[in-house]
Amino acid sequence: MNQLLAHIEQYKKEITAIKISSKEDLESFRIKYLGTKGILKNVMGEMKNVPIDQKKEAGQLLNEFKLFVESNYEALANSMETTSVKDKSNLDITLPGQPLSVGSRHPISIVHNKIVQIFQRLGFSVAEGPEIEDDWHNFSALNLPENHPARDMQDTFYISQNPDWLLRTHTSSVQIREMEKGDLPLRIICPGRVYRNETISARAHCFFNQVEGLYIAENVSFADLKQTLYFFVKEMFGTDVKVRFRPSYFPFTEPSAEMDISCLICDGAGCSVCKKTGWVEILGCGMVHPSVLDNCGIDSNKYTGFAFGMGIERITMLLYQVKDLRLFSENDVRFLRQFTSAI
């Protein structure tokens, strides 16, 4: 036992005095003290010579010694690292730096921001609402009672815990929430993600982004709607683009229309994007149905309003001539990188 103690003391002294100046020194230290045939193993081997009644004490001593060697090794290794950083003699400051790759906004965000900015300049403010909606805000209040055939126009994801809950199929639900607050006049745009149970293809996805707009005040007319949307199209696509309205049907507007713009890909001559018609539909719109106003506690004899809704993906595809909707959600940097300068 005494012999063991003496050995340990001697090694400790030796270790404390050690100075290293290179990685090789550090490795020799490791091999000498911590290696498989190293001193630590040797000293541990001496345990067998210690009498039984002293084994416990010797075990503690050996453990302490083991920790001592290990912590010294770590300290030496750390000091090596700091000195090598400090040692600038090998540093070549003429080497080129590590290039940082520049990020970019997602094309959908770019177009979302553009749309929002255009309407903000007309005095619209942004309103947002929940993506999980109840039946009232997504359907019933919008003049789509249960079993109304128009509900089939939008295949809906329902939430199994509660049949009243669903993933909103449009952001018209936000318009209802804002109208229910009763602050008039109301001039809002509602951007956000919406969900529909559709088979994924180049032209459809189970989720996409919309911007819907709503203006309610006294004496709002269809002429106001047209003028607002003309302004939007010119700002978004330029002054050369032609616009046309077609009569349509939505349960929440009367009269209702769809708005087309002349095809930006073929300039109206006819191509696969515009299905050879020269026109592309970009939004639905109309005068808010009096029943919708009544459902939200707004006096439909006093107030009128217009509403419109468009898909951001559709606008982005036209603007940047993107042919496949799936590219927007695949996160392929080769696609996304093309929009670096478009921010």
Question: Residues binding ligand DAH: what is the number (CB under 6 A)?
Answer: 11
Among 133, 135, 212, 313, binds ligand DAH (CB under 6 A): 212
DSSP 8-state secondary structure symbol assigned to residue 341: G
Pick from 166, 167, 307, 317: which binds ligand DAH (CB under 6 A)?
A: 307
For residues 145 to 174, the per-residue mask of contacts with ligand DAH, x marking binding by CB under 6 A and - elsewhere, is -------------------------x-x--
Span near ligand DAH by CB under 6 A; candidates 46-54, 83-91, 268-276, 282-290: 282-290
Point out which span in 8-16, 56-64, 155-163, 306-314 binds ligand DAH (CB under 6 A).
306-314
292's enclosing H/E stretch is helix 290-295
- 214 neighbors 175 (Cβ within 8 angstroms): yes
CB 214 within 8 A of CB 225: no
Work out how close the CB of 293 gets to ligand DAH at its nearest, in angstroms, rounded to a whole number. 13
State how far the Cα of 139 lies from the Cα of 167, in Å rounded to an integer: 12
Verify binding: residue 133, ligand DAH, rule CB under 6 A: no
Measured from the CB atom, the residue of 46 and 134 that comes closer to ligand DAH is 134
Instruction: Report yes or no: 325 and 301 within 8 Å, Cβ to Cβ.
Output: no
Of 191, 192, 251, 284, the residue at the interface with ligand DAH (CB under 6 A) is 284
Segment interacting with ligand DAH, rule: CB under 6 A, options 155-163, 293-301, 307-315, 325-333: 307-315
By C-beta, is 228 or 253 nearer to ligand DAH? 253
Give the C-alpha separation, 265 to 278, whole Å: 9
Q: Which is nearer to ligand DAH, 62 or 170 (CB)?
A: 170
| Cα–Cα distance measured from residue 93 to residue 32, given in angstroms and rounded to the nearest whole number | 38
For 242, residues 6+ apart whose C-beta sits below 8 A from its C-beta are: 261, 262, 268
Please write down the long-range contacts of 334-342, taking CB distance under 8 Å and 24 or more positions apart.
336/104, 336/106, 336/107, 337/104, 339/104, 339/105, 339/106, 339/107, 339/110, 340/102, 340/103, 340/104, 341/104, 342/104, 342/105, 342/107, 342/110
Q: Which is nearer to ligand DAH, 69 or 307 (CB)?
A: 307
Residue 285 lies near ligand DAH (rule: CB under 6 A): yes
**Listed ranges 21-29, 68-76, 156-164, 278-286: which one lies at the site for ligand DAH (CB under 6 A):** 278-286
- For ligand DAH, which residue of 253, 262, 295, 316 counts as binding (CB under 6 A)? 253
Shortest separation between residue 145's beta carbon and ligand DAH, angstroms = 16
Residue among 206, 130, 203, 126 at smallest CA distance from 168: 130
**CB-based contact 309:283 (threshold 8 Å):** yes
Q: Does 250 bind ligand DAH (CB under 6 A)?
A: yes
CA distance 135 to 124: 27
Q: Within positions 215 to 234, which residues make up the interface with ligand DAH, using CB under 6 A?
A: none
Residues 6+ apart with CB under 8 A from 239: none
Stretch of 66-74, 118-126, 284-292, 326-334 lying at the interface with ligand DAH (CB under 6 A)? 284-292
* Least spacing, CB of residue 190 vs ligand DAH, in Å: 9
Binding site for ligand DAH (CB under 6 A): 170, 172, 212, 250, 253, 284-286, 307-309
